[in-house]
Structure 1
């Protein structure tokens, strides 16, 4: 123990002091205070305030985050933020007195291959390959789309509310390929993010699924999570089940069958305006038609894998198109990504075995 009741911060090489003041926990790092501000995104809607802060301040230990809340240094809109409060979409969260929080750095990586689909002074769209993450999880990590973008467009490194995401406007799962949008200016970032928040951006996907979803239709079950560290989402099919879930959000997925393939596989087109994590994969699995190659939600399906059909090289989900208004001209534009080579070859192999 250091003199005066100060303990060394674990793993950080810094010192922080914990002193009870009037029943509250005071935390001091002896470094310059900072004031931070964020706007709650759709993915964060409904999070408890303490969890929201842990995600936004990944380098700050949990006791220090709790101390900020206990000491009234967090505001949600026009009120003092408390630990159990849940944040709402579009709400402004402000934090004062953050001491020593280091902003993570997005490292440029010119070795990341980028297939540019669209480019101008306001934004850029790339075709993300399967198996590549959209952005790193911590400073120093490389090999992601965001690392490649900031190497080519350095101005993107300072955009957005999450430093490691750079100017990325949305995300795709690691094993999903296709269109990924990023902004090159702060005004473009805010404009397009506002379109996402208002659900004015339309994203179109192609998926190969097991089983016939039935021509065309929509899946509109809400989606939530169970457990603090769950890697899966839960589709809520019945009223009352949402009481046992966390962070429940409305979600709608529209689908249309394009063609039937051998072995009871179907190529479908999917549309989504809501942006809930794992929405497409979870929704299709919930109606008995999981995405081919989906190890998270497909394995839970009771539909057996068709005999004689080769296993897929990856999760067969591709973001083929995105539609939105240009942030400067206001013109409605559409950006498309050709079907990824492995996905295309797998479909050809199915065709060579005949169609249903």
Structure 2
């Protein structure tokens, strides 16, 4: 449970003694009567059942100020305090890496991230990340977060989502960019291939939180964080639709979970139901084509293609666009050749 320096719960802090303190309040109607160890395994990122049980046994977990057993059923409004000693994270090291730099100046770098690349070091991925490559490439990155593993990082993309990221080279630029993200004034367009035929345009307004059964997944949950996705259909095929997606908020896995929620999962997304033939023939050459495309793509068909914001120094609106990566371009080429235009 304390192998990672990063915890998602708020508020949390690391004090001068090297301890992480996590405060949780059980939300009514969400996790009632779940075992204490299972609740913490779900709510604390990178926690394992064994580490949680060890923490409870060692007295590092208090429920309403008292020690409880792992089997204790959490109750609505229970206040849970966790205090854990944690090792310091290893400082991210520079690594030679081929980076696709779209633009750079004294304040920022625009990177076209390839699929399969983790943005910053974290539990299970301490090396080989975009940050490692940036440390080798750039002579300076922002460090306003006082975080040795996330210098310059203003926002993130999922490992298997490709596309544009802005990286801050100094603290002033970082703060101004982060403020724009916080105010939802960043212009972000994603290209997604989804199953079925959603409305020509629409808004998905559904709160997101961690899946109670699998802490690695996100889900639409009552009482979750506000999440709003807007979309517009660009092209239709007989079983699929190509959509332009804009984000009003930027939650973890937001686009993928939202489209799965409305029964139009992103093509190729094995995590949220998009890597199976959802519409169309269940046998035959068409089904085989889709399955071959799943294998060749190996990820969700999702690309962050446009990124626009006010430049932190000049205040001028700047917009960048990334070409489609080869794997998505191949999928679209095959579908345009093999699938009929949709309704």
The normalised TM-score by structure 1 is 0.68
Q: Is residue 106 from structure 1 mapped to residue 92 from structure 2 by the alignment?
A: yes
Task: Tell me if 1:214 matches 2:190.
Answer: no
Question: Aligned partners of 2:101, 2:213: CA distance in 1, in Å?
Answer: 37
CA offsets per residue over residues 142-199 of structure 1, 9 Å max, x none? 2211110111114227453432122111111111100011101011111111111111
Write the distance in 2 (CA, Å) between the matches of 1:187 and 1:286.
38
Corresponding residue number in structure 2 for 1:248: 224
The answer as to 2:282 corresponding to 1:298 is no
Task: Give the root-mean-square deviation of aligned CA atoms.
Answer: 4.0
Q: Distance in 1 between matches of 2:266 and 2:124?
A: 33
TM, length-normalised to structure 2: 0.70
User: What is the deviation of 1:303?
Assistant: 2.9
Whether the aligned pair in 1 keeps the contact of 2:205 and 2:227 (CA below 8 Å) is: yes
Q: Which residue of 2 aligns with 1:14?
A: none
2:247 to 272, 280, 287: 272
Aligned residues: 285
1:187-224, Cα deviation, whole Å (9 max, x unpaired): 11111111111111121100001101111111111112
Partner residue of 2:161? 176
CA drift of 1:248 comes to 0.9
Taking a change above 3 Å as real, the CA distance of residues 160 and 228 of structure 1, as seen in their structure-2 partners, is farther
TM superposition shift of 1:260 = 1.2
SS of residue in 1 equivalent to 2:264: coil
- In structure 1, runs of 5+ residues without a counterpart are 1-9, 12-31, 37-49, 71-82, 87-97, 237-241
Q: Structure 1 residues 226, 345: closer, same or farther in 2, change over 3 A?
A: closer
What is the CA distance between 1:273 and its match in structure 2? 2.2
Q: Secondary structure in 2 aligned to 1:169?
A: coil
1:163 aligned residue (125, 129, 148): 148
Contact 1:106 1:157 in 2 (8 A): no
Q: Distance in 2 between the 1:329 and 1:291 partners?
A: 37
Gap change, CA 1:228 and 1:285, over 3 Å in 2: closer
- Counterparts in 2 of 1:229 and 1:158: CA distance versus 1, 3 Å: farther
Deviation, 1:65, is 7.5
Gapped regions of structure 2 (runs ≥ 5) = 4-15, 21-39, 47-53, 66-77
Q: 1:1-356, aligned counterparts within 5 Å?
A: 84=79, 102-110=88-96, 112-138=97-123, 141-156=126-141, 158-227=143-212, 230-236=215-221, 242=222, 248-261=224-237, 263-298=238-273, 303-304=278-279, 306=281, 308=286, 309-310=289-290, 311-312=293-294, 313=297, 314-356=299-341
Rg larger in 1 or in 2? 1
Alpha carbons of structure 1 residues 121 and 34: separation in structure 2 relative to 1, 3 Å = farther
Distance in 2 of aligned mates of 1:292 and 1:300: 6
